[in-house]
Structure 1
Amino acid sequence: MGVSCAKMMKDKILQQSIALFEKNGFSETSIQDIVNMLGVTKGTFYYYFTSKEQLLMQIHLQYIDNILEQQRRIIDHSDKSWKEKLFDVVYMLIHQIESHGASARIFFRELINVKGDFLNEILAKRDQFRFNFQYLIEQGIANGEFRDDLPADMMTFAVLGACNWSYMWFKPEGPVPDNEVACIFVEVFLNGMKK
């Protein structure tokens, strides 16, 4: 099997698994369900993945590696203020639900099914995302763009908590587009709800 054919099959397994995990949940989806939907054998599955858990870890890694890279590019952008970078990261997180909705939902919903070394690797990357975000806030504080009377770690948890939970309710086809959701979030984060 050529390299491109092998990559195509691996991608097909990943995409079909994402669809099934989103619809039925990780625990309720069997390897047999996955191969049945693809019309291949279990041997094909095991050629690419040692287990369903490794497959789930791959889905998590693809998602977190993608948002870590986007976050890094945003933070490293030298021509933007820290407020602009805050908006860009918030927008990126909301937009991921639109562009990678199933993967986003699996990333947040199915972490409970990631175990052992797989879990440690995913948690380390999630922590890195949080530390990077806290760095963004700390730089905004140091630059006088954000208030300095609140702890940066608590601001980080508040913003990420709101963004991460949006996978439960944000509907890309709904009346409020991702850009507007990001604008509302940033307005609340920076200026609160007080009149």
Structure 2
Amino acid sequence: MPEPAADESSGIGRRRALARRERNASWLERREQILAAAADAFRAKGYQAASISDIATRLGSDRANVYYYFASKEEIFLALVRQAVESNVADVEAAAEATGSPTDRMLRVIEALAASYEQHYPYLHLYVQEDMRRLSDDGSEAEKHLRDCSRRYDDALLKIAREGVRSGEFRPDVDPQMLKFAVLGAVNWTHRWFTPDGPMTGAQIGRAFSDIFLRGFIREK
């Protein structure tokens, strides 16, 4: 069951709405602190198991302080991942509509997606870590938005894969759907091992993946 949201008609709900309109420096700073604590809680316990209380504990505060900034756990999660997800959707949709070759556009998507894991660390990792089907199914706007972003990303990537096969640039026996799954599976798995202080940057990982997808890994004789 989703954790109860703080009622917008309550006193704390009204104060939260007023603070959001003002958005002063101290409010923004505290909001970022709450998001950092939430990211830590979600990564450690998973979205379902983590609670507002867990976030408050990491913050060194109480639940009321968290609810002053966010109405629910789901709203916090969306705030964490929304910018990263929307940025990636914009990248892939721009590539899908570009005039370059399907090969160049596919490589552009792979490299942009891998680089985004560094740019949006750790928030994009949270998005991939959580199976969207396991999030609340109450039909909220937050849930609908994340699911729509996922659908748009898949559709744009599949469009590039299909155009590559249709144009003859990709092998005719390649299933566009499987190519989409291969790209997403490879790059998204970096959420299990990538850290910004690792031996490769996100961009370098993207180029390495692009080279493997384009040239394979079997040495030519």
Q: CA 1:146–1:64 in structure 2 vs 1: closer, same or farther (change >3 Å)?
A: same
Aligned to 2:116: 96
Select the structure that is richer in helix.
1
How many positions carry a matched residue from both structures?
194
Letter matched to residue 47 of structure 2: F
Q: Report the CA distance between 1:102 and its aligned residue.
A: 1.4
- RMSD in angstroms over aligned alpha carbons? 2.7
> Which of 74, 83, 86 matches 2:103?
83
Q: Name which one, 1 or 2, has greater alpha-carbon Rg.
A: 2
Partner of 1:54, secondary structure, is helix
Write the distance in 1 (CA, Å) between the matches of 2:82 and 2:110.
Answer: 20
Q: TM-score scaled to structure 2, two decimals? A: 0.73
Q: Report the CA distance between 1:36 and its aligned residue.
A: 4.4
Partner of 2:43, secondary structure, is helix
Q: Report the CA distance between 1:39 and its aligned residue.
A: 5.3
Aligned to 1:49: 70
Write the distance in 2 (CA, Å) between the matches of 1:175 and 1:50.
Answer: 39
Letter matched to residue 136 of structure 2: K
Q: CA 1:120–1:99 in structure 2 vs 1: closer, same or farther (change >3 Å)?
A: same
> Which of 198, 209, 218 matches 1:174?
198
Quick check: 1:74–1:89 contact (8 Å CA) kept in 2? yes
Aligned to 1:193: 217
Letter matched to residue 52 of structure 2: I
Task: Select between 82-91 and 32-41 the one with higher mean Cα deviation.
Answer: 32-41
Q: CA 1:177–1:14 in structure 2 vs 1: closer, same or farther (change >3 Å)?
A: closer
Quick check: 2:112–2:203 contact (8 Å CA) kept in 1? no
Superimposed CA distance per residue, residues 168-192 of structure 1 (whole angstroms, 9 cap, x where no aligned partner): 1234433333333222322222232
Partner of 1:115, secondary structure, is coil
Q: Report the CA distance between 1:75 and its aligned residue.
A: 3.2
Letter matched to residue 83 of structure 1: T
Partner of 2:218, secondary structure, is coil
Q: Report the CA distance between 1:152 and its aligned residue.
A: 0.8
Superimposed CA distance per residue, residues 114-154 of structure 1 (whole angstroms, 9 cap, x where no aligned partner): 11125454233212211110111122233332222211111
> Which of 34, 41, 45 matches 2:55?
34
Task: Select between 126-135 and 114-123 the one with higher mean Cα deviation.
Answer: 114-123
Runs (5+) with no aligned partner, structure 2? 1-18
Write the distance in 2 (CA, Å) between the matches of 1:58 and 1:100.
Answer: 12
Quick check: 1:56–1:114 contact (8 Å CA) kept in 2? no
Write the distance in 1 (CA, Å) between the matches of 2:200 and 2:57.
Answer: 38
Quick check: 1:31–1:52 contact (8 Å CA) kept in 2? yes
Quick check: 1:130–1:156 contact (8 Å CA) kept in 2? yes
Letter matched to residue 23 of structure 2: V
Quick check: 1:18–1:103 contact (8 Å CA) kept in 2? yes
Instruction: Say if 2:126 is the partner of 1:106.
Output: yes
Aligned to 1:132: 156
Superimposed CA distance per residue, residues 79-112 of structure 1 (whole angstroms, 9 cap, x where no aligned partner): x432222122111221122222211221122236
